[in-house]
Amino acid sequence: MTINLIKIRFTIAALAGALCCMALHAKKPSLTYVDADALTVINRAQEQAPGWQRLDVDRYPDLTPKVKSYYSYPTGLAVAFRTNSPRITARWKTTGKGHGVNTTAIAQSGLALYIKSDGKWTFAGVGKPTYNAKKHSSTIIQDMADGQKDCILYLPIYDGLDSLEIGVDSACTISAMPNPFPRKKIVVIGSSITHGSAVSHPGMAYPARLERMLDMEFANLGASGQCKLEEFYARIAADSKADAFVFDTFSNPSAEQIEQRLEPFVRIVREAHPETPLIFLQTLRRETTNFNRGTADFENAKREAAARGMKKILAEYDNVYFIDPGMPIGDDHDATCDGVHPSDLGMDRILQVIAPQIREIIR
């Protein structure tokens, strides 16, 4: 009899626990999803770009296949919205690009959410992609306090985006908000460093961080391994409306290419934008030059060519600037992921130097 009573009590306890779990599950709010393209999309260099591309690549038939592919990514784009939901989720589809060796999965195919708090854009969470897949679903943040929240969701850096839906609790609201950076728009054209090759998540590329630091909209036209002062980059800048341009154009070309292409590049941009500030960044001193003499000679030659070329440009054109050092990453040799691409630490060191100068130039 005693054993049977124990069994009965155990059964009742287990049933009560199951009912409790079912009740808790029943109380959990359902989700409502909205298409992100019905909200506010920011950080496009040119507004007519289709879908989730950052540029209408068909306008520029002479783009190389690699640049065309990269500019079809949503790198640097973000969705701005307001919601009173304590939970924000997302589901999205990417094109399934193979994972890069120096890029985290979250930076490549994931999302990064920032919420305004006490007047500052504050990191809230990431949308974690499903590894080696094209369909993704993730709870970005939950259990938040009541109240309206201004949000920015940065999109994948190194993968194409086919669709994006943002989910909130069904009893709550989500709506488009005005562009949170209405004062100025800056277009950044550059290399993999601008693209954000080695950052931890999409909100950490330096154009995105400059955006939040300077309270200005920054469009990211970085193209990993590309951007060698080709004419089509100058024409893209010429066709883009901006209050200033930032150029990371000395990271990839050789010294000879810099000497041949710099002046024609500036001339094309200046003809379209006679008074707009043009800000050129000297490239970083790569850690790969520490012991490799061939690499050191190549890198030193192009840095010297950039300095010589910009000296001539500054003498000929007004409202052109050369920030040198333009990508200082410190001298402890610990601020890159591979000797070339700045980590989050490297990006931070770059920003501490260039952000005040860019702010002053645009002011």
Query: In this predicted structure, what is the pLDDT of residue 3?
Result: 44
Angle, CA of 130, 209 and 148, to the nearest 5°: 75
**Residue 156 identity (one-letter amino acid):** P
Checking if the pLDDT of 292 tops 70, the result is: yes
Mean pLDDT over 234-256 rounds to 98
Residue boundaries of the structural domains of the chain: 31-176, 185-362
Query: In this predicted structure, what is the pLDDT of residue 27?
Result: 63
Query: In this predicted structure, what is the pLDDT of residue 158?
Result: 95
Peptide bond into 325 cis (omega under 30): yes
Task: Report pLDDT digits (tens) over 202-223.
Answer: 999 999 999 999 999 999 999 9
Instruction: Tokens for 317, please give them.
Output: 């054109």
CA 140, CA 194: separation in Å to the nearest integer? 25
Q: Are 210 and 186 in contact (CB under 8 A)?
A: yes
CA 358, CA 95: separation in Å to the nearest integer? 35
Checking if the pLDDT of 23 tops 60, the result is: no
Query: In this predicted structure, what is the pLDDT of residue 363?
Result: 85
Query: In this predicted structure, what is the pLDDT of residue 98?
Result: 74
Candidate from 93-97, 140-144, 291-295 with smallest mean pLDDT: 93-97
CATH superfamily to which 185-362 belongs: SGNH hydrolase (3.40.50.1110)
Instruction: Tokens for 175, please give them.
Output: 């709506």
Give the predicted TM-score (pTM) of the model: 0.91
What mean pLDDT, rounded, does the chain reach? 92
Checking if the pLDDT of 7 tops 50, the result is: no
Task: Report pLDDT digits (tens) over 88-122.
Answer: 999 999 998 777 788 999 999 999 999 999 999 99
Instruction: Tokens for 180, please give them.
Output: 């949170």
Q: Are 345 and 335 in contact (CB under 8 A)?
A: yes
For helices 255-272 and 231-239, the axis angle rounded to 10 degrees is 20
Per-residue HEC secondary structure of 15-41 comes to HHHHHHHHHHHHHCCCEEEEEHHHCEE
CA 171, CA 152: separation in Å to the nearest integer? 21
Mean pLDDT over 319-333 rounds to 96
Decide if 31-176 and 185-362 have a common fold.
Answer: no
Residue 155 neighbours by CB distance under 10 Å: 27
Q: Domain 31-176 falls in which CATH fold?
A: Jelly Rolls (2.60.120)
Mean pLDDT over 278-294 rounds to 96
Q: How confident is the model at residue 8 (pLDDT cuts 50, 70, 90)?
A: very low
The percentage of the chain sitting over the pLDDT mark of 90, rounded to a whole number, equals: 89
